[in-house]
Amino acid sequence: MIVFEYIAEALFYAFVALTFTGGFLAVRSKLLMHAVLGLAVSLFGVAGLYFYLGSPFLTMMQILIYVGAVCIIIVLGVMIGNTPDQLAAKKLTGRNLPIALLACTTGFIALFVATINRTEFTAANEKIGDMSIKFVGENLLYQYCLAFELISVVLLTAIIGSIILARGGREGKTP
């Protein structure tokens, strides 16, 4: 039994590392395709954390909607993104780096303190129910209704935004 606890803990840290690595790749990449791939890796890590925490339904929704919506972001990025020549012409300076680091550190500390103070951790095997259609349907209608609706609104917004930007072309002309 102790071996399974170590495996579960190792999986948790692997999912956290996957999430942070993908986020770092998404933020630091200069090419749009690399940023989108980093975002997909980070979202898969978040889906793994949902599964680890005992919510297979949110795991499936994370993969289907957020990682699936990455395809829309790729198409949108290819249509309106900068070419490598345009990126080379822009010289970005790091004069806002200290302010950005301070803001990120402050936000991270605030979220960390709020999470640690208000979260009750329970074992994952206590949260998982049966995976029958009835169980998933009841959870969708009662427990996860708001989360599911918010995820669908985010997807709808991404679709509408890509359609509006696609109609304008690369010059930025909107109808």
The reported pLDDT for the residue numbered 15 is 94
Distant-in-sequence, close-in-space partners of 66: CB < 8 Å, separation ≥ 6: 43, 46, 47, 151, 154
The reported pLDDT for the residue numbered 111 is 84
The reported pLDDT for the residue numbered 20 is 93
The reported pLDDT for the residue numbered 5 is 82
Cα separation values, 124 from 52, 79, 82, Å: 7, 42, 44
> Is residue 140 one of the residues assigned to a domain?
yes
The domain total for the chain is: 1
Out of 31-45, 92-106, 146-160, the most confident range is 31-45
> Is residue 95 one of the residues assigned to a domain?
no
Domain housing 19: 2-83+124-168
pLDDT tens, residue by residue, 40-87: 889 899 999 988 888 888 888 888 878 877 667 676 766 676 666 766
The reported pLDDT for the residue numbered 21 is 94
User: Which pLDDT band, with edges at 50, 70 and 90, does 24 fall under?
Assistant: very high
The reported pLDDT for the residue numbered 87 is 65
pLDDT tens, residue by residue, 84-116: 676 666 555 577 777 778 888 998 898 888 777
> Is residue 91 one of the residues assigned to a domain?
no
Residue spans of alpha helices (H) in the chain: 2-28, 32-52, 56-61, 68-80, 84-89, 97-118, 124-127, 133-138, 145-168
The reported pLDDT for the residue numbered 140 is 74
> Is residue 175 one of the residues assigned to a domain?
no
> Is residue 65 one of the residues assigned to a domain?
yes
> Is residue 114 one of the residues assigned to a domain?
no
Q: Which residue has the higher pLDDT, 122 or 4?
A: 4
pLDDT of 171 strictly over 60:
no
The reported pLDDT for the residue numbered 137 is 76
Average pLDDT, the chain: 77
> Is residue 144 one of the residues assigned to a domain?
yes
What's the alpha-carbon Rg for the chain, to the nearest Å?
Answer: 20
DSSP 8-class letter at 171 = T
Q: What is the CATH number of the domain that holds 77?
A: 1.20.120.1200
pLDDT of 170 strictly over 70:
no
> Is residue 108 one of the residues assigned to a domain?
no
